[in-house]
Amino acid sequence: MILDAAAGLLRLLPAETAHRATIALSGAAAPLLPKPPADDPRLAVTALCLSFPNPVGLAAGFDKNAEVPDAMGRLGFGFVECGTVTPRPQAGNPRPRLFRLAKDRAVINRMGFNNAGMAVAAANLARRRGKGIVGINIGANKDSADRISDYARAFAELLPLADYVSVNVSSPNTPGLRGLQNRDDLTRLLDALIQTRKSAIPLLLKIAPDLDGAALDDIAAVVQASGIEGVIVSNTTIARPALASAHAGETGGLSGAPLFAPSTEILRQMRQRLGDAVTLIGVGGISSGADAYAKVRAGASLVQLYTALVYEGPGLVTRIKRELAALLARDGFAHVADAVGVDAIS
């Protein structure tokens, strides 16, 4: 595959340069990429009133401006989430702001919602020709005087062009943003978005992994009262477990293998609080079918990955799906939905 062959060369470039080159290469190579083979029927998922061919999605952060969702879909993802998108264009934080931690199979980023703004993302989404499921992740501008209004503006602009919208209140790279996860502010935010919603487009909330039990209780209560359809667990972490790489001391959000265990535990706890009434998407440290399966067993109907692609290349997607199907068969599950939450039973 063209992108697999290029992955090793791209890792020789500085991290952010490699990312931009990957976006450009993906767009150029899209017409040359074959349609992915049909997925194992055991992997099909019905969630959020949508039919996913498989539960493995691309997490937000890769395609911030919705430039290549169809190309990513051709790699075999069951769905692609673009963003984070803010109402106005935003340059983000000063460079360097993206760091590979190869020894830890991890990445630290402090990008700061760098994106071209909702008008550009909307135009890109409107030009799509593919039919794959695409979500859009929205945020607030760093200098906004009214962040809830920012979310409402981006939501209204982009929801007609997406299959679902996710609300990012959990990035550690916009000062004060995570404060929107408190009970009162989160209630006001979700109420504002639900009042804006004129159609049945699913609305999801993306939360941080650095939350204690009381905070999870509050979020679960707000989610249940609001009636939103899903929660994405989780964003990057500000915690720093023991790391071996040279960039371990950089500030920002840590993603990749070190995030797997804590994010999966938060996922399990949210499943215990919310049951099966709300769709959970598990994110954080997935690099194998076994990792994806653990997220499913902890309560995720769908999973997402991004950081592992940096180290494994795009062929990882097919491998994860193959391994996941084999694990389901090994344990006697006829369908991936049958395994959702089996390890979250109190």
Does residue 48 contact residue 164 with C-beta atoms inside 8 Å? yes
Taking residue 27's Cβ as centre, other Cβ atoms within 10 Å add up to 14
| The dihedral sign for the CA sequence 241, 246, 249, 251 | negative
What are φ and ψ of residue 22, in 5° steps?
-65, -40
Distance CA 105, CA 245 (A): 9
The set of catalytic residues is: 171
Q: Encode burial over 205-232: b for 16+ CB neighbours within 10 A, e otherwise.
A: bbbbbbbeeeebebbbebbeebebbbbb
Distance CA 331, CA 327 (A): 6
Distance CA 335, CA 300 (A): 14
Distance CA 84, CA 62 (A): 9
- CA distances in angstroms from 134 to 4, 67, 229, listed in the order given: 23, 12, 16
Distance CA 107, CA 100 (A): 5
What's the N-to-C CA distance of the chain in angstroms? 44
Distance CA 122, CA 154 (A): 10
Comparing C-alpha atoms, which of 326, 300, 317, 311 is closest to residue 255? Answer: 311
